[in-house]
Structure 1
């Protein structure tokens, strides 16, 4: 009997230990999943493309080389002018000496332009957005401003409008000026190269998608032929290998712009959408584990960011419509027939939250005053709700708030009633002073 009891006890203890072990592994796994990512890049950031909420950032405020991600600014200004009717997709461009020479530099990403060639704005735009063609980008600056030098003030003006900080534009392509065969914009350094912090690149990408979502129609094209149907036809393959059908295809990726120079390293401004959530990820100077700078490194680093966002974040309603507050269901009414009126929040607040750590996002009631004077009508704003616990904030100034209003009314007491109350208050004060 004792042997049986010992054996049974041992089995129970072993089973209990196994259950505890499994629970511990489960908790550890969930915790590990929500840990911040290890991104092998000098700087990185990922944001929600709808609200601009920052989900993660690394060294995101330091200005670094941005290489061909600069072309997003050229795209932005061009699409602005197209929308305003200042330029048409069918407008023709006659090739300049500058654009012609750069287009035949085989060390750069380019589509070769004929010296006597005539191209449409659409052709040049597609070459820039799909193939990162540098001469095509220069050509577009000449269409828009007459020269690349005259285009630089437009870049700076747009950057100022968008509230960008710590940016430097020396050209429209993102190349080092030393690669422009001594034809770089006058007044800029011979070896100058565009710079911007990762956070500002994310802000530019965010604004571009908000203002011109149609940019993805071109940015998502994996392959296309430039000057199709002519003897100058050139096959273009998008440098974004994470697109559908690409070498490093990632579910949901449909943009936005790669970039690389010796100075900037491997860079990528990516965007991807799954379900109702779109994110923007920026990596700058990505490296392999052994320190090598490769195309693959920027896509590996981007994958880490995208996996982190889609695995750990989701859109949630953190404040429901018409929410009431357990510890503050009413507000005091001065000189009212009713001593209090009920209050509630008006509009719901939705935001992207870390689903593994939802308790940190707490609604906070903020009343304008501790009481309100009669008469009081329904719908009077008496305060607002703030959301606390956000670690990184937003890419642009954003206030997540909902007005708090009265939901019942209170009429004012008559003069006689108020008089008796005032008299009572008077004698109460006298009594307190005497005794």
Structure 2
């Protein structure tokens, strides 16, 4: 009987081992997406500005209608500055009218005997990628498209957009514009952006003017009784056969296509209070630009998270105090004034180190602070350094610097009175004398 039980146990064990062996091991999805079928691409965390993925992200390419993100920014800036309002009206120039009459230019068919509001024109630009309404807005803001192009390039410099060059407000090639190409540009010129600069432009647009998303997320709109559908098929709630492309949380930003540029898309989505920005440039088809964007966003949301890396009031063990000169107290504690957040890839528990950098202008030649000091006084900065393998730094050095937090004093320190300072000086003198004598005697033996 015992032999039978033992034999049965051995058989069951063998079966279990065999079953475990044939069960496929779980596939790790932690690795970076390596099959993004686009000439250039990038994925950015919109809160921290950290790059989660990049592929030839600095390659300057024609961005087609993604150019309009800069036009949107400047229109929204003009509204904020009070130069125009959503209700400001304007008429349609011969140039804009010519564009609007051509279906190849996403023309709606504007009328020259009518005044259009800024909001009507902006909606058509954001939703239908309409070129005529884009030009009408550029002319309204700057007086002419040529002057508007100067504003675009100036703003690109202010934003630090790498490899950015604007020659018109729409993203069409100047060769498409015939006699209407903007003054100050050449007849065969084209706009250029890298994926990095497109993502950075979207980053500024979203963070500076979040209302832009209210318009980029509109699925269908109408102007002059002409209905149009957003070219961004990934918006949730798209009609009919476009519905399967919908992506949860996606609310922008801008598609683009020309023969030279291919199919491009700057996308952004928010889930669980976290926003990502993606760019794909020169994909093979209209569908492909959304399929590749989905891969990027899925990776970002599923395999990375934004978390608190170090809390507010954090102190480093060996750098928690600073000596204070001429103070009632001779030292003061320092700590971070706020929490530091960063992106954490899946499987990396502690991929950061923290560095404290003291403000040398606040220290004397002995490395001491000088009283009096206020509680919460800034004496330096703290920054995190990524030590893992999955991230690619910040989209710009400035944004990386903005991620730093201040080191501040944890208490106030009043200046000591003359008696205390004198007593300390006497004490320091005798301490130095006795220390010197002790060293002399040690040298004798």
TM-score of the aligned structures, taking structure 2 as reference length: 0.83
Query: Does the alignment pair 1:353 with 2:350?
Result: no
Matches within 5 A, 1:392-411: 392-396=392-396, 397=398, 398-399=400-401, 400-404=403-407
**Secondary structure of the equivalent of 1:33?**
coil
Alignment of 1:241-320 (within 5 A): 241-246=233-238, 247=242, 248-286=245-283, 293-320=284-311
- Counterpart contact for 1:282–1:302, Cα < 8 Å: yes
Q: What CA distance in whole angstroms lies between the structure 2 residues aligned with 1:379 and 1:107?
A: 60
Return the alpha-carbon distance in structure 2 between the equivalents of residues 186 and 367 of structure 1: 51
* Correspondent of 2:429 among 410, 419, 428: 419
Q: Who is 1:216 aligned against?
A: 213
Question: Residue 147 in 1 paired to residue 157 in 2?
Answer: no
Alpha-carbon distance change, 141 to 327 in structure 1, aligned in 2, over 3 angstroms? closer
Q: Deviations over 1:131-171 (max 9, x none)?
A: 01111111222222222122211111111221222211121
Correspondence list, 1:33-432, <5 A:
33-227=30-224, 233-246=225-238, 247=242, 248-286=245-283, 293-326=284-317, 344-365=335-356, 372=368, 384-389=381-386, 391-396=391-396, 397=398, 398-399=400-401, 400-404=403-407, 414-431=424-441
Q: TM-score normalized by structure 1?
A: 0.85
Q: 1:226 to 1:35 in 2, by over 3 A?
A: same
Show structure 2 runs of 5+ residues with no match: none
Q: How many residue pairs are counted as aligned between the two chains?
A: 420
1:335, 1:431 → 2: CA distance? 33
**Separation in structure 1 between the aligned mates of residue 35 and residue 295 of structure 2, nearest angstrom:** 7
Q: Aligned partners of 2:377, 2:435: CA distance in 1, in Å?
A: 28
Kindly tell me: are residues 60 and 19 of structure 1, through their superposed partners in 2, closer, same or farther at Cα, counting changes over 3 Å? same
Cα 1:156–1:15 change in 2 (3 A) is same
Cα displacement (A) at 1:340: 7.3
Contact 1:50 1:278 in 2 (8 A): yes
Q: Retained in 1: the 8 A contact 2:33–2:295?
A: no
Distance 1:159 1:35, change over 3 A: closer
Partner residue of 2:9?
Answer: 8
Closer, same or farther: CA 279–321 of 1 in aligned 2, 3 Å: same
Q: CA RMSD in A?
A: 3.3
Unaligned runs of 5+ residues in structure 1 are 228-232, 287-292
User: Shift in Å at residue 38 of structure 1?
Assistant: 2.8
Contact 1:53–1:394 under 8 Å retained in 2: yes
Q: Structure 1 pair 83/91, CA: closer, same or farther in 2 (3 Å)? A: same
Please give the per-residue CA displacement for 1:2-25, whole angstroms capped at 9, x wherever unaligned: 564455356446646867987x93
Q: Which sits farther off after the overlay, 267-276 or 4-13?
A: 4-13
C-alpha displacement at 1:176, in angstroms?
1.2
SS in 1 for 2:292: helix
User: Helix, strand or coil: the match of 1:64?
Assistant: coil
Sort the Cα spacing of 1:337 and 1:25 in 2 relative to 1 into closer, same or farther, 3 A: farther
The CA deviation at 1:299 is: 0.3
CA distance in 2, matches of 1:318, 1:299: 33
**CA–CA separation in structure 2 for the residues paired with 1:105 and 1:409:** 70
Closer, same or farther: CA 112–380 of 1 in aligned 2, 3 Å: closer
Summarize deviations over 1:58-117 as a string: whole Å, max 9, x none.
Answer: 111111110001111111111111222212333332222221222111222121123434
